[in-house]
Structure 1
Amino acid sequence: MRAGTAVRLLEERVKRALGGGARAQRVLVLGAVLGLDGADKGTVSAMAGPLKHAFSIGNTEIGLLATVVAVVGGVFTIPVGALTDRVRRTRLLAFSTVLWVAATAMSGFAPSYLWLLVSRAALGAVTATSGPTVASLTGDYFPVRERARTYGSILAGELAGTALGFAVSGTVGSALGWRFAFWWLVIPGVLLVWAVWRLPEPVRGSQGRTEDERRSESEGAPPREDRDPAKKAVAASGVTADEDLVLREDPRGLSLWRAVGRVLRVRTNLVLIVASALGYFFFSGLRSFATLFTTHQYGVSNSVASLLVLVVGAGALVGVLAGGRVADRLLGRRRPNARVLVPTVCLLAVPVFAAPAIHTTTLLVALPLLISALILLGAVNPPLDAARLDIIHPYLWGRAEGVRTVLRTLAEGPAPTLFGFVSSGVFGGPHGLEYTLLVFLLPLFAAGLLGLVALRTYPKDVATAEASARAIRAEGA
C-alpha cells in the first residue's frame, strides 16, 4: 500500500471516530490548542538538566519556570473568561496563539535565567485564554449526550502535546541545544493560528443543536430530552432544583463579581474545582521532574528517560479517551452521578498503583504500575470537565472556567517549585524526589474523598441548571 493511500485511510478512520469531517476538525483544533501548551511544559521538563547547567540553577529554579506560567495564567484567566462570554471566541483564541508563538520564541533567545523567567511569565498571560475559550466552544460545538467522551478526545491533545514536548524537545535539545527545543514549537504554533482562524463561531447555548431545534425552542417548544442524558437521568431520579440558586435573568448582563459569586455558590462546582486542583497539583509536580526522577531512580540515560516518560504518558492518553466514554455509558444507563462517580473511583485508586512504582528501583516492576496509575489519573478530567458544564448555565461558561483556573492555579502553580524545594531542602540526598512524590500522593486521595461529597450534590445542581435555562427562556419570550 502506498504512503498516500495509507494516509487517506488513516484520515478517514480519524474522521469516523470523531463523528465526521466538521466535527473532527473542531476536536483536533481544540485538542491542538491544549497540546501546544502541553508541549511547552513537557519541553521545560525534558530540558531541566541542560537548563540547570546553562544557568547554574537548581531544582527550585526549574520548578519556578513552570510555576510562573501557572500563576500568571491564573491571574489573567477571570478577565479573559469575561471576554470569552462576550466576544467572538475563535478570534480571541487565534490572537492569543499568535502571542504564544512570540513568547515561546523569546524563551529560546534567553541569555539569562531572568530573561527566561520573564518570557515564561508572558507565556502564562497568553495561556490564560485557552481554558475558558476551549471549554465554552466545546459546550456549544458538540451534543450534550457526548460531552464527556468529546472532552476526552480534546484533552487527549494536551497529553499528546506533553508527550511530544518530552520526546521531540528532548531529541532536538540533545542534538542542537536547549534553545532549539523551544524554537521548534514555533512551527506548529504558526500552523495552529491558521487552523483556529478557520473555525466557525457557534451560537452561544446551542450545545450541538441544529438551527431548526434552536428555533423551535425559542418559540416555546420543550428541548429534546433524549439529547441530554444527564438531565434525563436526574429527572428520572426525582431530584428537584434548588430554587434559591435558579437564575431568572440573563447572566450575560451580570457584573464580573456577581457572576463569580454565582459560580461559586454552585456547591458541586466548588467541590469539583478543589478536587481537580489537587489532581493537577500532583500531575504538575510529577511532569516537571519526571525525567530527572526516572534517570536517578531507575539508572537510565536522559534520552531513555524521555522515551520512558513517553511510554508511561501513553497510559494517561488511554485513560483520557476511556474515562469520558465510561462515564457517558453509565449515564446512558440512568446513573445520574456517573460523571462524578468515575473520577472519584479513579482518584482513590491512583495511589494504590503509584506508591509502589515510585518506591521501587526496578524498572520492570515500576513500568506496568506507573502505566496503570497514569491510566486512572488520565480518566479523571474528561468526566469532571463535562460535569462542570452540566451544572453551569452556558452564558456563564467562560467566567466559570476562569474561576476554576484561578482556584486550580492556587494549588497547581506552586507545585513544581514546592516539589523542587521539598526534594532538595527538606529530604535532600539521592532519594529526595522519591520521598517527595510519595508524600504528595496524599492530595490525590483527598481529591477522591471530595468526590464522594460531589456525588450527593451533583444531581440537584444539574436540576438547578436546567431550571435556570427554562426560566431564562421564558423571560426572553
Structure 2
Amino acid sequence: MLLRRLATVVGGRARAQVIVILACVLALDSADKGMVGALAPALRQDLGINETEVGALVAVSSGAGALAALPVGLLTDRVNRVRLLLVSIALWAAAMAAGGLSGSFEMLLCSRVALGAVSATSGPTISSLVGDYFPVAERGRIYGFILAGEMVGAGFGLMVIGDLGYLLTWRLSFCFLALIGLALFWTVKCGLAEPARGGQSRMEPEGWRHRSRRRKGARRDDLAREVVKRRAIAPDPALVLHRDPARMPLWHAVVYTLLIPTNRLLIVASALGYFFFAGLRTFTVEFVSGHYGLGKVEVSLLIPIVGLGALAGVLCGGRLADRLMRRRRTDARVVVPGWACVVAVAVFLPAIITTSLAAAIPLYTAGAFALAAANPPLDAARLDVMHFRLWGRAESTRTFLRMGAEAGSPLVFGFAVDMLSDPASPASGLEYAFLIMLAPLAANGVILWRARHTYARDVATAAASEESTR
C-alpha cells in the first residue's frame, strides 16, 4: 500500500522503484553512522575507550571517504554507475562484517577506514544518476524523497540497530547491517538500470505526455534554464566550456568546478551543515540521556518524534523550492535552504538550553524539520549549475570536503566534551559543545544568501557549456 501510494505521488511505479533503491543506498550508510553514536556506551565499556575515541570511529570513516571521493567521481563520469555502486555495496558489507568481528579498538578502527573508503561511492553516483533519471524541474522534490532515506537510515541506526546492540551485543549490530548490505546488493542488481548520460532516457511522470499535449509549449525538463533565458541572463564567458569535459583530467575538472561561484558556495555550505549534523548524529543519544535524565529505552521512544520532523522537512524543502521556481523565483533553490538554516539555529538554541523535556521536544522537532529541509534544494541546485558530464566529479569534490567536515566533527565534538565536562555533571560538556557548534550552522544562512547573487548566471553558464560541447 505504501509503495503504491508513493508510485502515485512520484509519477509511476518505475520512478518509485528507482527512488526507493537510491534512498536505501543512502539509508544504509546513514544507519551505520547513526549506529556508532547509539552504541557508544557499549563500545566504551567493552573496548575501554573515551568520547574522543568514539568520535574517531566516525571520523576515520569520513576521512577515508573524503580521500576516496575524488577518484570515485572520475569513475562515476566514465564507467557504468550501477556496477560501480554494486561493487561498493559488496565491499561495504564485507567491511561491516569485519568490524563486528574486531577484537580490539585498533582492529575496529581499521575496519572503519575501509568502510569509509567504499561508502564514498554513494554521493557522486547517486547525484549523477538522479540527474539522468529525472527532469530538472522535479529534482528538488525527487531529491527530497531520496534524502528521506538518509533520515530513515539515521533513525534506524539509532533505534533498531542501537537497541539491538544494547540488548544483546554491539557485534551483532554490525553483522546485522552487513546482512542488510547483501540484501541491498541483490536489490540494486535486479532493480536498477544504467540510464543514458545527458538525460536522453529521463523518466517522465506517467500521464505527463498526454497532459502536455494540451499545454502549449509546456516543458518540465529545463525549468531553471527557461527562467534564466526569459530574464535574459548572460553566461560567464570565461567559464563556458568549448570541449567535451568527459575526458578532462581529474585535477582540471576539480579546479573548474571550484571556479563556479555558486558551486563553491554550496560546497562550503554543505560542509558546514554536515559538520553540525555529524556531531548531532554521533552524540545526541548521550546528550539527551544525560541532560534530561532518560534511559536508553526512553530516548529510543523520542527519536521517532524528532525523526518525523526531519522526514517532513526533507520532503517539504525540495517541493517548496520547486514550486517557487515554477513561479519564476529563480534563486529559490538557494534561498529556501538559507532561511532553513537560520530557522534551525533559532529553534535549536533554546532546545539545547532548556531542561524541560516537554518544551524541548517540539523545538527539536522543528529544528530537525528546518535542518533537513535545506538539503534537497541544495542538491538540486548543484546539478543546475554544472555541465552534465561533470556531475560525478563535481559531486566528488563536494563529497571530499563534506566528508572531511564530517571526519573532523566527531573529533571536535568529542574533544570539546572532554575539555568542557564538569565531573559533577558530565552532560554539561555536551551542552556547551552543541551550543558552540551552532555557529557554523548560522554561517550557512549568510553563505547561501550570497549564493542567490550568482546562481542564475551559473545556470546560464552550464546551459551555454552544454550547448557549445554538443
TM-score interval, normalised by the smaller of the two chains: over 0.9
Describe the shift of the 1:67–1:304 C-alpha distance in structure 2 as closer, same or farther (beyond 3 A).
Answer: same
How many Å separate the matches in 2 of 1:227 and 1:399? 23
Deviations 1:269-312 (A, max 9, x none): 00010011101000100110010001000110012113323321
Q: Aligned runs of 1:192-341 on 2, under 5 Å?
A: 192-198=184-190, 199-206=192-199, 209=202, 225-341=219-335
Alpha carbons 1:246, 1:467 under 8 Å: kept: yes
Letter in 1 for 2:343: A
Q: Distance in 1 between matches of 2:161 and 2:406?
A: 23
Partner of 1:347: 341
* Alignment partners' CA distance in 1, 2:398 and 2:203: 29
The CA RMSD measured in Å over matched residues stands at 1.4
**Aligned residue among 448, 454, 459 for 2:456:** 459
Equivalent residue in structure 2 for 1:46, among 13, 33, 38: 38
Measured against aligned partners, the alpha-carbon deviations of 1:185-218 in whole angstroms (never above 9, x if no partner) come to 122211110111121110011165479xxxxxxx
Aligned-partner residue type, residue 198 of structure 2: G
Q: Which runs of 5+ in 2 are unaligned?
A: 205-216
> Structure 1 residue 425: deviation in Å?
1.5
In structure 2, relative to structure 1, the CA distance for the partners of 1:122 and 1:226 (3 Å cut) is closer
Q: Separation in 2 of the partners of 1:15 and 1:409?
A: 32
Quote the Cα distance in structure 2 between the aligned partners of 1:74 and 1:10.
35
Q: Distance in 2 between matches of 1:114 and 1:314?
A: 36
SS at match of 2:238: helix
Q: Is the 8 A contact 1:76 1:128 kept in 2?
A: yes
Task: Name the CA distance, whole Å, in 1 between partners of 2:410 and 2:284.
Answer: 11
What is the alpha-carbon distance in structure 1 between the residues aligned to residue 98 and residue 179 of structure 2? 14
User: Quick one: which amino acid aligns to residue 193 of structure 2?
Assistant: P
The residue type equivalent to 2:59 in the other structure is: T
Contact conserved, 1:166 with 1:310, CA < 8 A, in 2?
A: no
Task: Determine the structure 2 residue equivalent to 1:414.
Answer: 408
Q: Is the 8 A contact 2:420 2:432 kept in 1?
A: no
Is the CA contact 2:21–2:187 (under 8 Å) kept in the aligned structure 1?
yes
Question: Match for residue 441 of structure 2?
Answer: 444
Whole-Å Cα distance in 2 between the matches of residues 224 and 70 of structure 1?
43
Q: Structure 1, residues 343-367: CA drift from partner, whole Å, max 9, x if none? A: 0001111111001100111110100
Q: Does 1:59 align with 2:51?
A: yes
Deviating more after overlay: 322-331 vs 195-204: 195-204
- Which segments of 5 or more consecutive residues in structure 1 lack a partner in the other structure? 1-8, 212-222
1:117 aligns with 2:109: yes
1:138 and 2:111 correspond: no
Residues 1:421 and 1:362: Cα distance change in structure 2 (over 3 Å): same
- Summarize deviations over 1:230-254 as a string: whole Å, max 9, x none: 1111222221100110011000121
CA contact (8 A) 1:143 1:208 kept: no
Q: For the structure 1 residues 335 and 240, does the alpha-carbon distance in structure 2 shift closer, same or farther, using more than 3 Å as the test?
A: same
TM-score of the pair, normalised by structure 1: 0.93
Contact 1:35 1:162 (8 Å CA) reproduced: yes
Q: Does 1:402 align with 2:396?
A: yes
The match for 2:432 is 435
Task: Report the AA paired with residue 472 of structure 1.
Answer: T
SS for the counterpart of 1:247 is coil
Summarize the alignment of residues 369-408 of structure 1 with structure 2, pairs less than 5 Å apart. 369-408=363-402
Cα distance in 2 for residues equivalent to 1:38 and 1:455: 30
- What residue in structure 2 maps to residue 11 of structure 1? 3
Q: Is the 8 A contact 2:55 2:282 kept in 1?
A: yes
User: Partners in 1 of 2:235 and 2:63 — Cα distance?
Assistant: 36
Distance in 2 of aligned mates of 1:405 and 1:251: 20
Change in CA separation of 1:240 and 1:60 when aligned onto 2, cut-off 3 Å: same
Which residue of structure 2 lines up, in the alignment, with residue 154 of structure 1? Answer: 146
The answer to whether the aligner puts 1:363 opposite 2:360 as a matched pair is no
Give the aligned partner of residue 66 of structure 2.
74
Percent identity among equivalent residues? 49
Q: Distance in 2 between matches of 1:267 and 1:224?
A: 30
Residue 86 of structure 1 corresponds to 78
Q: What is the aligned partner in structure 1 of residue 98 from structure 2? A: 106
Q: Specify which of 181, 190, 199 is matched with residue 182 of structure 2.
A: 190
Q: What SS does structure 1 have at the residue aligned with 2:453?
A: helix
Structure 1, residues 74-97: CA drift from partner, whole Å, max 9, x if none? 000000100000000000001110
Pair 1:472-2:466 in alignment: no
Find the partner of 1:97 among 78, 85, 89. 89
Paired residue secondary structure (2:351): helix
Task: Using the TM superposition, give the Cα deviation of residue 379 of structure 1 relative to its aligned residue in structure 2, in angstroms.
Answer: 0.3
Distance in 1 separating the partners of 2:202 and 2:162 = 43
* 1:20 CA drift (Å): 0.9
Residue 210 and residue 309 in structure 1: after superposition, are their counterparts in 2 closer, same or farther (change >3 A)? closer
**Where do 4+ consecutive residues of structure 1 move more than 3 Å?**
207-211, 223-226, 426-429
> What residue identity is the alignment partner of 1:202?
P
Q: Within 1, Cα distance between the matches of 2:20 and 2:200?
A: 18
